[in-house]
């Protein structure tokens, strides 16, 4: 019986910016390592399932996303589908030192690109 061993590549936020053709909306430290990637619009799911160091992909543009990132010790937030957070959201992210990126990709596309980069698929 063959044993499947998956190798994981460690990404940084800089890699994520390049892979997703993302814009840095907030944050300067792009060498932060991304431990995991999750995708959700329900912040209750993020609170229940996230792990420290996780990067979240979301289409929900709300200050609650940043508050959830703070409480869950996430490494950053990526707003998908070209969503643009307002000043209040970015100010809160800056104050909490949460990097915020934006991409025109859909959540599905962004998750697929990052999965491929991490697992070599």
CATH number of the domain that residue 55 is part of: 3.40.1390.20
**Does some domain include residue 72?**
yes
The yes-or-no verdict on residue 3 having pLDDT over 60 is: no
Quote the number of domains for the chain: 1
Number of Cβ within a 10 Å radius of residue 28: 8
The stretch 103-118 carries a mean pLDDT of: 96
pTM of the entire predicted model: 0.92
Domain that holds residue 68: 26-119
Taking the C-alpha atoms of residue 102 and residue 111, their distance in angstroms, rounded to an integer, is 13
Q: Quick one: tokens of 6?
A: 């998956």
List, for residues 50-106, the tens digit of each pLDDT value: 999 999 999 999 999 999 999 999 999 999 999 999 999 999 999 999 999 999 999
**Does some domain include residue 38?**
yes
């Amino acid at each position: 019986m063959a044993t499947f061993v998956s190798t994981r590549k460690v990404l940084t936020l800089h890699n994520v910016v390049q892979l997703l053709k993302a814009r840095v909306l907030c944050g300067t430290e792009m060498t932060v390592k991304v431990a995991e990637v999750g995708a959700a619009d329900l912040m209750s799911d993020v609170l229940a399932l996230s792990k420290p160091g996780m990067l979240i992909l979301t289409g929900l543009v709300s200050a609650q996303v940043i508050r959830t990132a703070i409480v869950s010790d996430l490494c950053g937030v990526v707003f998908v589908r070209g969503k643009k957070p307002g000043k209040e959201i970015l100010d809160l992210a800056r104050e909490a030192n949460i990097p915020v990126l934006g991409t025109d990709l859909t959540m599905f596309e962004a998750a697929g690109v990052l999965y491929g980069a991490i697992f070599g698929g």
